[in-house]
Each structure stands twice: as C-alpha cells, then as structure tokens.
Amino acid sequence: MSDLAIGLRQVRAEQRGFWRNPVAAFFGFGFPIMFLLIFGAIFNKQTTCIDGTLGNRGQCVSGTLVPYNTFFVPAMAAWGVITTCFSNLTISVVASPAATNVLYPGGNGDVVVTISNPNAYPVTITAVNLPANSVYATGYTTSALTTQQAGCLASTPSDVDWNYSTATSGTSHNLTTPLTVGASGQANDPLVVTFTSDASMLSATPAACENTYFSMPSLTGVTATGGAATSTTSPATDSWTS
C-alpha cells in the first residue's frame, strides 16, 4: 500500500472518528458556531476603528470602520480547529499502545496481530474468517494482556468485536493485500500485521472499558495457499473493507 493510500485511509478514519463522537463534534464544530451566532447578535451593529483614531464623537479618523463580526468569524474558526486538534492529540497519546487508530464508543480501531507459520514453506493468506458478531473481545489492564479489566470482559460484554462480522460465524472477508508469512524459522516468521479499522466498538460499551487493551476473539479460519513466494516484510499493514 502506498504512502498516499495510507494517508487517505488515516484521514478517512480520523474524520469518521470525529463525527461519530457527539461530544467532540459539538465542542469542535457546533460550539464555535453557537458562540459566533450569540456574539454576532449582541454586537451586530457595533464597529471598531482600524488604522486610525476615534474622535470625540466616536467617529473613525484616518482609518476604517470594521464591524465586530469581522473579528469573530476567524477567531471562532481558529478556536474550533485548535480545540479539536489538541483534544484528539491528548486522547491518542494516552490511549494508543501500538496501533495508530484507537477504539472509541461507536467507532473502529486498529488491531495488531502476530502470525506464525509452522510449515517449511511460505504461506500466503488471502482472506480471513470471522466469528459471529456476538463474540466479543476481553479487556486487559495493560498491553501484556495478563490482568483482565473488571467490568470489560467478553461475557460482560465488552461490545468490542471484529468489524464487518455478522450474525453468522465463519464469514469470509478478503484482505486488501495478500499476506505471505515466511517459512518456519525464516525471515518474516512470525509476521506482525496491523489490521487498520478492523476492530469495532459499540456505542453501548461499558465505561469500565475506558483505557483498556483488548484481546480480540480468535479467527475461525483463513484462506491460504502454500508454496514458493516472497514473504511480506514485517511489520506490515493490511485490512478488509467489507
């Protein structure tokens, strides 16, 4: 996948993440507009003198009268951009252990997996088979995945599952790019892969799942072929989009 394609996917994921978060959308987009309308109505007929001085009767001497609203529009736009960028930055730094696209209620996130090949020849994977969307991930307190997060278990449920999974177990989903795992003990075995936006978190996810690391449900199978092939360089990035 080219750098441009990766960049476009990231932009799409960031936009989707922003608009699926009602709080972020309100304070980053709706809040500035609300203040713009309020202050615009209050100071609708007021002006200020630019590049000049005010006379005794409030007239602008050797300058230009500019409506207050002219200042509010760029100021509110800048405020919205700054608050949105810094809010997202803080959440990413705190919540991201490895993947660049983290999970949030109602959105999708990245999944980092390790694929090992016990065979004496390379194996190429072209599709994955997903469990049913009623099979959920288990939350852990750290990336070591040793201590479970109370209140955020598969049985709670955590409401975290594979993106595009359905009510039927074993559905097949083609990878964007085939992955070739090196022969056992050779280069690129095991193969570390980041599946972008292929984990899904429902809006009703328990609050206990905040700042949690997830162990995703096991895949039910893969579509693969064995034989001579150039192995995919680890770490790699891939996904399925339907």
CA distance 216 to 27: 32
Could you tell me if residue 102 is inside a domain?
A: no
Residue 208 belongs to what domain range? 108-238
Radius of gyration of the chain (CA): 26
**C-alpha span between 236 and 230 (Å, rounded):** 14
State pTM to two decimals: 0.59
Quote the pLDDT of residue 23: 62
Helix (H, G, I), strand (E, B) or coil at 191: strand
DSSP-derived secondary structure letter, 208: G
Q: Tens of pLDDT along 26-57?
A: 766 777 778 778 877 887 777 777 766 666 66
Q: Whole-angstrom Cα distance, residue 99 to residue 113? A: 10
Please give the pLDDT value at position 92.
Answer: 29
Higher pLDDT, 87 or 23: 23
Are 24 and 80 spatial neighbours (Cβ–Cβ below 8 Å)?
Answer: no
Q: How confident is the model at residue 136 (pLDDT cuts 50, 70, 90)?
A: very high
pLDDT tens for residues 149-194?
Answer: 999 999 989 899 999 999 999 899 999 999 998 888 888 888 888 8
Instruction: Give domain status of residue 101, yes or no.
Output: no
Q: Which of 129, 100, 119, 131 is nearest to 195 (CA)?
A: 100
Domains: count for the chain = 2
What ranges make up the beta strands (E) of the chain? 47-50, 53-54, 60-61, 64-67, 108-115, 123-130, 138-140, 160-162, 171-181, 191-201, 213-215, 221-226, 236-238
- Show which of 95, 128, 144 is a domain's final residue: 95
The answer to the question of residue 100 being in a domain is no
Quick: pLDDT tens for 69-109.
777 777 777 777 666 554 443 222 222 345 556 788 888 88
